[in-house]
Structure formats: C-alpha cells, structure tokens
Amino acid sequence: MQTEKVITAKNLSKKFGHFVAVDHISFEVNKGEIFGFLGANGAGKTTAMRMLCGLSMPSSGEATVAGFDVYKQTEQIKKNIGYMSQRFSLYEDLTIGENIRFYAGIYGLTDKQIREKSDSLLKELNMQEHKKTLVRELPLGWKQKLAFSIAIVHDPAIVFLDEPTGGVDPITRREFWNLIYEASSNGITVFVTTHYMDEAEYCHRVSIMVDGRIDALGAPASLKKDHAAKTMDEVFLQLARKAVRSE
Amino acid sequence: MQSVVVENISKKYVVKKKATEALSDISFHVDKGEIFGIIGPDGAGKTTLFRILTTLLVADAGKAAVDGFDVVKDYKQIRNRAGYMPGKFSLYQDLSVQENLEFFAAIFNTTIQENYGLIKDIYQQIEPFRTRKAGQLSGGMKQKLALSCALIHKPSVLFLDEPTTGVDAVSRKEFWEMLHRLKREGITILVSTPYMDEASLCDRVALIQKGKILSIDTPKGVTKQFRKPLWAVKANEMYRLMMDIKTDPGVESCYPFGQYHHIVFKNPGDDKKRLEEIIQKGHFTNAEINNIEPNIEDCFMALMKE
Amino acid sequence: MKQFLIFVKKEWLHIWRDSRTLFILVWMPIVQIVLYGFALTNEVKNSTIAIFDQSKDAATTAISNEISASRYFKLVKNVHSYKEIEATFKQGKIRMAIVFPNNFSNDLLHSNHAQVQLIADASDPNTANTLTNYASSIISDYQQRLNNEQQLPYAINTQLRMLYNPELKGAYNFVPGVMALVLMLVCAMMTSIAIVKEKEMGTMEVILVSPLKPFLIIIAKTIPYLLVSVLNIASILLLSVYVLGVPITGNLWLLIWESILFTVTSLSVGILISNSAKTQQVAMFTSLMSLFLPTLLFSGFLFPVENMPLPLQVISNIVPAKWYYIIVKAVMIKGLGFSYVWKETLVLVGMTLLLLIISIRKFKTRLA
C-alpha cells in the first residue's frame, strides 16, 4: 500500500458554546485505504465528518483533505471529494440517467465524459435497461449502489460514506461492499461510518470515537488483540460503554 | 392462548396504476408472552404488517386477530389494549418528556402513577430530563421515551416497528434488555428489525423479504434448516481471496462476514480440500479454514436465493 | 372528558411554543387592518394635481379655487405648457392635470360651449376614474350654479353621487372583508395545517391507535383556534372603531355571534382540507387556493360580484365569505337587524352543517 496521506488531522476540535463536540482528534488516512469511522450516537462522528468535508469550520487544530486546508480551501476540498449518506442521495423524481448527468454536470465533467461515464457506470451496475427508470421506482439496494457510483462519478480522491448500508438486505449490503473494495483498489480512499460491526471488519483501519475523542485507532485485528476481544462488536461495546455523554 | 393470529394476509399498494405487493399471503401466530421478531430489510413489508395489526390499515385479503379481536371488526377493542411504537419517532417534539407521557397516559384513560411500576426501569433513565423538549433528546433517550409512552396504558400486546434502527450498538443492547424485562411482565412483544444479529434475542422469528415469509421458527430452528456445511475462511488478502473462491464453479455462495468469508459448496464433499487448493493456488498466507455453525444472516441469504 | 381536556391543553402548548404560528395568529389581523387602513387604501384624498390655465379669467379661477379647496385635491403646481404637464407627470408629482383652453369664460358664457381637459394618470385606472369623476362633478356643480343664475333652458345636469359610501372611505369596505379573510385563514388554514402536521410527524399514527374517538380529536384540535378567532374578532373590531373610525352601527352581539358562526364554517373547511392533504405544504396551498383567493375575489370585498359574468356570480354563492361579508356589512355598516340578514345566516348555517358532517364522516380512522 502506498503511504501517500489523503487525510491528515491534528488536534482537530469543534466547540459549540461550552460543548466540545470534537475534542482534539488526530489521525491520518492513506490513499486507497478503507477507513472505518465508528462511534456511538452523539460521539461526534457527524461533526468531525462535516469539518473534513469543508462544511463546518473547525474551532482549532489542523486538517488537510486531499492536500487542501479545511480552513481556507474548502472549495477545492469539495471538488475532490464524493459524499453519500443514507438520507440524502438521489433525486427520486429524476431517472437514473438524469441523476447521473446532473451530478456529473455539477462536478464539471464535459458532455463527452458524462456520456462515457454514464455508460460505464450503468454497465457496471447492470442497469443499462433502466436508464430511463425513475429512481423512485428502484428497490432500496439499487438506489444505494447507484448513489455510491454517482458519488464517485468525478473520480474524487476520497469518498465519504455516512451509514451507507442502513436497512439494506444482507446480500445487497455485501454487494455494496464489493463496490467499496473496487473503489479502494482503484485508489479512491473510502471514509465510512456504519452501525454494523461486521462491516467494521471489512475496513483496513478503524477509529472509534467516544465523547468527542478517538479512543481507539488501528487495524481490526490489532484492536481486537488490544482489547482481548473476539469481534469488533465487543471492542466497540467495551469502549462505548465508557461514554459519559449522550447527544 | 395466542396473542396474535395472522391468516393469509395480503396487501397491495397501487402507485400510478402499478401495483406492488407489500404483503403476499402471510400467516403466523404469536403466543402470549412471546418475543416475536419480524426480521427483514427495508421494503420487506414489516411496517405494512404492523399497521394492519394495529388497525391502521385494512388488508386486501386474509384475517388477523389481536388478543382474540378481529383487526377490522373489533378495531376499537384493539386500540384499547395494544401498544404501538411506529418506526419513525412519533412523539410531540415541542412537548417536554413529562408532557408527552402525561398526554399519552390521558388519552388512554390512565395516569402515569397507575402504571408507573411497568415503566419505572425505563422512565427513570430519562426522568432527570423530564422538562426537556422531546425534540432535544438523544436518539437513545427518544427511544426510551417512546417506549414509555407505548407502555403507559399497560398494553397486553406491544408492537415495536424497527425500534433499534439508526441506534448505536450500546443503546441497542440496552433496549433489548428492557424488552426481556417486559416479557417477564407477561407482555407479548412483536418487534421488527433489519438487524439480523438481533434475531437471536427473540423467542421466535419470521424472516421476511419482499412481502413473503421465508421462514418461521426459533432462531435455533432457523439455523438448523441450513443443511449444507458452512465454511469460514480467512487469509491475508481477503478481497482477492473472495474473487478466487467465487471463480470456482463448485462454489454455491461466498459472502464476506466480518473477518471471514462464509462459503457453501454446491455439492458438499471434500470441501476443506477444495478450499485449501484455492488458497495454495493463490499463494495466500495466514490462511485459516473452519467448519462453522450458520447464523441467521447466513440462513437469510440462503433463503433469499431460493 | 379528561382525554379531551388534555388534548386541548396539548394543542395550546403547540401554538404557544411555536412563536411563528403565534405571531401569525395574533398579529396577522392587526397587520392586515393597518395595511389596508393606511397603506393600501383606495380612498381619494389630497390627490396632487396641476392646473394649466390658458385663460385666467373669472370662471377658470373660480373652478380652480373650488377644486383645490376640496379635500380630494391638492394643487401642487400651476403649469404653463403641455410639455410641462407631461414633465410633471413623468416626475410623478401629480396624478391629474386640468387644462383650461383660451377664452374659457367667454366660450362658456357666449357660445354655451366650453371645454375642460382632464388628464389623469391612468396607470392606476381606478384612481384615475375616481379623480376625473370628482373633478367633473365639481365642474358640473359650478356649471349648474351658473345655469341657475342665468336660467338657460335645455341644459342637462349631470349629478354624480357616491351611494352608501359618499366619502369613498375604504374602511367601510375592507373591515368586513378583512374579518372574513382573517377568520378564513386563521381557522381553515391553521386547523388544516395543525391536523396534517400530526400526520406528517407520525403522531397521528399513535393517536389513532388509542381509544380516543376521532370526533374528539377533531373538536379538540379546533377549540384553540376558535378561541384565537374570537380574540381576532375583538381586535379587528376595536381597531376599526378606535383607529380607523368605522363605527359599529348595528347590534354588537349579533355581529359577534355571526362571526362565531362563520368561524365554525371556516373550521369545518379546514378539517375537510386536512382529510385529503398529506403534507403541511399541500394543506397550506390548498387553503390558499381554495379559500384565500375565492374569499378575495368572490366575497365582493375587492370586486363587486354583480359586475361579474353570470357563471362567476353563481360560483360566488358557494364561497362562505360572501355571505358573511354581506352580513357584516349589513349589521356593522348599515346598522340593520337580524330580520335583514336571516337568509344569509341560514345559508351559512346550512353550509356549516354540511361541511361539518362531510368532514367528520370523511375523517379517516385509519391511515389509508
């Protein structure tokens, strides 16, 4: 694995009044790595992720994403990342093709690129015949796979996935992870949050946030060894039970 | 005594002249005091089923009864004795914790004091915040308040539609502990969830997918239906390993499962030898091959494919 | 009963804690009255005019004096050419110009034929119309007096009178109109939104699965809005009497009871809308399209119904606000008693009963 750093965070913090949502977190993510970002509800995951996406200004600390500074270069950051969440992804009242064209368009792809991209993307997802189907009519699993492919349509350096697989059936969930692996092997860094602990095992490295801090960081195997646990679920429960605050 | 009886229930939705079957010919029953899990992904028909049983929807075909009362004819009696917690957080966000609880107690013609014993364990955890608006509670606390409100009239059957969706692992564990305490009070609990690992916490489960029931049994019984041997394999390069295994024509399925891949062969026989061959051919290191007991998720995926 | 009371209490808390809604409920009527009263008035008062007097004789001076002395006009400029008139119009300084040609007096006295030109800014046609009417009326007054002195035969006098509202005082017209509008909006829109909000938030699901009777849910949801409406009726009446100087000539209690009747009509419309609307947005839009506009157009408040084409006149009959508007005008402005408005009252009662029956019947005890 290459050691090029795609995300670096040093003592990154965010305060809301007296409330410290994110408390001096430091970590690095390598190019092509699948980085699992875990934590209980209210541990500060969303806030940290927003700062890295250039949506929220940190209170203190440093961070760069794709080589750009999170304070000054948020516009460049936004051009170089993809984002997908369970809640927001696609326009339900547009067709698959229209969604692809729209997102590719807002990232500034040329018409020719858009045509090529949408062809290859539809082929990869086996959705060629459904190009003119409204997204609303697709099964949830399809939507999520499509949303992911669209999130990386502009070949970003990093893609942020916020609970991408919630509520999906187990087979689709695994197919979704195949897409993640593929993106990773193509050099796209994947930053992912999830509530499924078995998915944490699929990540190259995992961080676990508790009360705004990163309490554990490392490969799943070494985390399990450190905490004398058989599964990531146990590691997570051990750490998260120590939490004093809730949302 | 059977708390819930469902017989051949079907329900269609028509959207723009296109009919989709939310439930097709579903039948099961739930015994009194049982925790019955409806396990399936989003869109499987779980919410539709709960709405039919809580008298909010009428089925197109089939019969259902709760506590011996027909869900269509005797819906008023059911509304008196069922507790319901919808999938979406359904309390008044602009009312405080206490105001919400008082309101739900009053509309069920009871008071907080009358049934305090039942909700005490749960409500005590959120009581310090009783003047806080429900909208400002954390996910876990909202869930506890919603459960308290659903329990305040001492229902005989409790319907919980995806109570743990979007809730972190710690809160989920606590929630299931609460459900087991309620079971000891004699309350029948119907709970739906998309998390397969929660199936083992139920007395019996129905696996549901695309409006059809795949299997109904105890969690152990479901896994017993898994006939072929199941193998867990791990090695240094997991993704490449999966690709290699999948190209073997003798392999029926190979799914990543945490740190292992779970593999089933079409014609079981010398499974272990065949896996060892694949590993050798691909020059994998740190390989590990185990014959394991299937879990609910293995079964669910196998049943989905049938 | 306890179920019912706690529901009403809850409803109060919703209104009380949503400062935006509260603001709309309490301030909207006041703002509307003040707006219509002072900003959007169509009264003609002190309209600025210019006079181009090419004759400068006794007659033109007399007419000019009379016009500028009237409370409707204010002479801001004496101009000396047509060009100047145009320039003054363009500057927006005047709304009308009066042009007397040469030898006006002479023509008037000797050839019995004099001309006055009234040039009005017709970008606002209503005002232009009113202004020219007033000016013509003053001029013809003058002419009449001349005629009386000179006893000239065969002259046709045009007399112009503004019936019912001689001063063209807008308040007489819009106070009843605003009452109809505000009550319609507060009761119908707010109740429909309040009910649909429960559907949207998912709380309706939980309430339906309780022993609470649907009928009670509806009544409990409307009571707070009924009370707010009574408050609004009071504030509108107080404002119109003490700030706008529109007296209540008829019986106050009759007026209040008729208003409450109309409130109930509006509430039942609101419930009806909430039955079919699935989102708050839809509820608001439906209310605006099906209530606000018809009330504005067909109640007779802005446009006289009699001037409309027949089909529209027929349609106007199903707009409850039309009947309420007639009642309020009759009772409040003309000072008439119940014997003059019983027919309209009966129509409103009938509509209310019908709406209430339909909306309670149609209220869904299930989700679909």
- Mean pLDDT to the nearest integer, C189-215: 86
Report the C-alpha gap between B193 and B179 in whole angstroms: 14
Q: Is B236 helix (H, G, I), strand (E, B) or coil?
A: coil
pLDDT of residue A247: 47
Report the C-alpha gap between A245 and A20 in whole angstroms: 11
Interface contact C202-B89, CB threshold 8 A: yes
Report the C-alpha gap between B159 and B166 in whole angstroms: 18
- Mean pLDDT to the nearest integer, A168-191: 90
Report the C-alpha gap between A170 and A157 in whole angstroms: 28
Tell me if B8 sits within 8 A of B61, measured CB to CB: yes
Interface contact C17-B94, CB threshold 8 A: yes
Q: Does residue A92 surpass a pLDDT of 60?
A: yes
Measured CA to CA in angstroms, residue B12 lies from B4, B162, C278, C310 at distances of 22, 21, 20, 47
A246 touching chain B per CB within 8 A? yes
C208 touching chain B per CB within 8 A? yes
Which of C206, C216, C278 to mutate to test binding with chain B, by most B CBs within 10 Å of its CB?
C206
CA distance B155 to chain C (A): 11
B15 and B153 inside one domain: yes
Tally of CB atoms within 10 A around A193: 21
Tell me if A191 sits within 8 A of A158, measured CB to CB: yes
DSSP letters for A77-106: HHHHEEEEESSS---TTSBHHHHHHHHHHH
Report the C-alpha gap between C4 and C6 in whole angstroms: 6
pLDDT of residue C165: 57
**In terms of residue numbers, what domain contains A148?**
5-240
Q: What is the pTM assigned to this prediction? A: 0.81
- Percentage, residues of chain A above pLDDT 70: 97
Structural domain includes residue B11: yes
B50 touching chain C per CB within 8 A? no
Tally of CB atoms within 10 A around C344: 18
Q: What is the pLDDT of residues C275-303, one digit of tens each?
A: 888 888 898 888 888 888 888 888 877 77
Q: Report chain B residues whose CB lies below 8 A from the CB of A168.
A: 41-42, 194
Report the C-alpha gap between C126 and C135 in whole angstroms: 14
Just give the CATH number of C47-150.
3.40.1710.10
Interface contact A201-B300, CB threshold 8 A: no
Residue predicted with more confidence, C156 or A37: A37
B212 and B245 inside one domain: no
pLDDT tier, B259 (very low <50, low <70, confident <90, very high otherwise)? confident
Interface contact B304-A168, CB threshold 8 A: no
Report the relative pairing of strands B204-209 and B69-70 from DSSP bridges: unpaired
**Number of Cα atoms under 13 Å in the Cβ half of residue C343:** 5
Burial class (CB in 10 A: 0-12, 13-18, 19+), C242: exposed
Interface contact A232-B301, CB threshold 8 A: no
B235 and B193 inside one domain: no
Residue predicted with more confidence, B230 or C131: B230
Q: Does residue C368 surpass a pLDDT of 80?
A: no
- Mean pLDDT to the nearest integer, B221-238: 91
Q: What is the pLDDT of residues C77-129, one digit of tens each?
A: 888 888 988 888 888 888 889 898 888 888 877 777 778 888 888 887 777 88
Interface size B-C, in CB pairs within 8 Å, comes to: 76
Could you tell me how far CA B106 lies from the centroid of its own chain? 30
Structural domain includes residue B223: no
Q: Does residue A54 surpass a pLDDT of 60?
A: yes
B161 and B257 inside one domain: no
**In terms of residue numbers, what domain contains B63?**
2-218
Report the relative pairing of strands B35-39 and B188-193 from DSSP bridges: parallel
> Which amino acid is located at C89 in the chain?
F
pLDDT of residue A8: 95
The torsion of the CA quartet A101, A107, A108, A112, rounded to 10 degrees, works out to: -40
pLDDT of residue A1: 44
A232 touching chain B per CB within 8 A? yes
Per the structure, how many domains does chain B have? 2
CA distance B305 to chain C (A): 33
Of the candidate ranges A124-128, B126-130, C174-178, the one whose mean pLDDT is the lowest? C174-178
Q: Does residue C154 surpass a pLDDT of 60?
A: no
Q: Report chain C residues whose CB lies below 8 A from the CB of B103.
A: 6-7, 10
pLDDT of residue C16: 87
**Residue the block writes with tokens 């359904």:** B90
B157 and B249 inside one domain: no
B154 and B295 inside one domain: no
Report the C-alpha gap between C341 and A218 in whole angstroms: 84
Q: Report chain C residues whose CB lies below 8 A from the CB of B88.
A: 202
Tally of CB atoms within 10 A around C154: 5
Interface contact C201-B90, CB threshold 8 A: yes
> Which amino acid is located at C359 in the chain?
S
pLDDT tier, C143 (very low <50, low <70, confident <90, very high otherwise)? confident
Any chains having at least 3 CB pairs less than 8 A from chain B are: A, C
Chains B and C are touching, with contact defined as 3 or more CB–CB pairs separated by less than 8 Å? yes
Interface contact C206-B90, CB threshold 8 A: yes
Of the candidate ranges A228-242, B101-115, B269-283, C301-315, the one whose mean pLDDT is the lowest? C301-315
Interface contact C367-B51, CB threshold 8 A: yes
B203 and B159 inside one domain: yes
Instruction: Tell me the torsion sign for CA atoms C292, C293, C295, C296.
Output: positive
Interface contact C6-B103, CB threshold 8 A: yes
B202 and B236 inside one domain: no
Tell me if A34 sits within 8 A of A184, measured CB to CB: yes
B153 and B239 inside one domain: no
Any chains having at least 3 CB pairs less than 8 A from chain A are: B
Instruction: Tell me the torsion sign for CA atoms A185, A191, A194, A198.
Output: positive
CB-nearest to C366 from B58, B80, B108 is B58
Angle at A167 between CA A47 and CA A102, to 5 degrees: 65
Report the C-alpha gap between A3 and B87 in whole angstroms: 44
Q: Does residue A213 surpass a pLDDT of 80?
A: yes
Q: Give the end of a domain, one of B218, B240, B267.
A: B218
Interface contact B88-C368, CB threshold 8 A: no
- Mean pLDDT to the nearest integer, B233-249: 90
pLDDT tier, C152 (very low <50, low <70, confident <90, very high otherwise)? low
Which helix (H) or strand (E) is B261 found in, with range? strand B260-265
Tell me if C181 sits within 8 A of C292, measured CB to CB: yes
Report the C-alpha gap between C291 and C318 in whole angstroms: 11
Whole-number mean pLDDT of chain C?
83
Report the C-alpha gap between C40 and C42 in whole angstroms: 6
Of the candidate ranges A44-48, B74-78, B273-277, C31-35, the one whose mean pLDDT is the lowest? C31-35
C211 touching chain B per CB within 8 A? yes
Tell me if A126 sits within 8 A of A133, measured CB to CB: no
Q: What is the pLDDT of residues B143-178, one digit of tens each?
A: 899 999 999 999 999 999 999 887 888 888 889 999
Q: What is the pLDDT of residues B19-64, one digit of tens each?
A: 888 999 999 999 999 999 999 998 899 999 999 999 999 999 999 9
Structural domain includes residue B224: no
Q: Give the end of a domain, one of B218, B239, B263.
A: B218
CA distance C213 to chain B (A): 9
Structural domain includes residue A10: yes
Q: What is the pLDDT of residues A122-174, one digit of tens each?
A: 998 888 888 898 888 888 888 888 999 999 999 999 999 988 888 788 988 89
Measured CA to CA in angstroms, residue C257 lies from C135, C252, C254, C324, C345 at distances of 43, 9, 5, 11, 10
CB-nearest to B168 from A140, A195, A232 is A195
User: What are phi and psi for residue B155, nearest 5 degrees?
Assistant: -70, 155
CA distance B107 to chain A (A): 30
> Which amino acid is located at C256 in the chain?
I
B122 and B258 inside one domain: no
Interface contact A167-B44, CB threshold 8 A: no
Structural domain includes residue A246: no
- Mean pLDDT to the nearest integer, B87-93: 87
Report the C-alpha gap between C11 and C21 in whole angstroms: 12
pLDDT of residue A2: 47
pLDDT tier, A71 (very low <50, low <70, confident <90, very high otherwise)? very high
Q: In terms of CA atoms, which chain A residue is nearest residue B141?
A: A246
Tally of CB atoms within 10 A around B209: 19
Q: Report chain C residues whose CB lies below 8 A from the CB of B91.
A: 203, 206
| A32 backbone φψ class: left, alpha, beta (φ>0; ψ -120 to 50) | left
Interface contact C366-B79, CB threshold 8 A: no
Ranges assigned E (strand) in chain C? 47-53, 73-79, 96-100, 117-120
Interface contact C6-B102, CB threshold 8 A: yes
Q: Report chain C residues whose CB lies below 8 A from the CB of B90.
A: 201-203, 205-206
Whichever domain contains A126, its CATH number is 3.40.50.300
Whichever domain contains B100, its CATH number is 3.40.50.300
- Percentage, residues of chain A above pLDDT 90: 51
Of the candidate ranges B72-76, B102-106, B200-204, C75-79, the one whose mean pLDDT is the lowest? C75-79
A105 touching chain B per CB within 8 A? no
Measured CA to CA in angstroms, residue C86 lies from A240, B206, C90 at distances of 81, 86, 6
pLDDT tier, B98 (very low <50, low <70, confident <90, very high otherwise)? very high
Q: Does residue C153 surpass a pLDDT of 60?
A: no
Whole-number mean pLDDT of chain B?
91
pLDDT of residue B269: 84
Q: Does residue B191 surpass a pLDDT of 90?
A: yes
Q: Does residue A242 surpass a pLDDT of 90?
A: no
Q: Report chain A residues whose CB lies below 8 A from the CB of B264.
A: none
B79 and B25 inside one domain: yes
Tell me if B151 sits within 8 A of B186, measured CB to CB: no
Q: Does residue C1 surpass a pLDDT of 80?
A: no
- Chain B neighbours among C 65-124 (CB < 8 Å)? none
Which of B133, B170, B198, B261 to mutate to test binding with chain A, by most A CBs within 10 Å of its CB?
B170
Whichever domain contains B250, its CATH number is 3.30.70.100
B63 touching chain C per CB within 8 A? no
pLDDT of residue C111: 74
CB-nearest to B256 from A140, A202, A220 is A202
Burial class (CB in 10 A: 0-12, 13-18, 19+), A218: middle
Q: What is the pLDDT of residues C230-239, one digit of tens each?
A: 888 899 889 8
Per the structure, how many domains does chain A have? 1
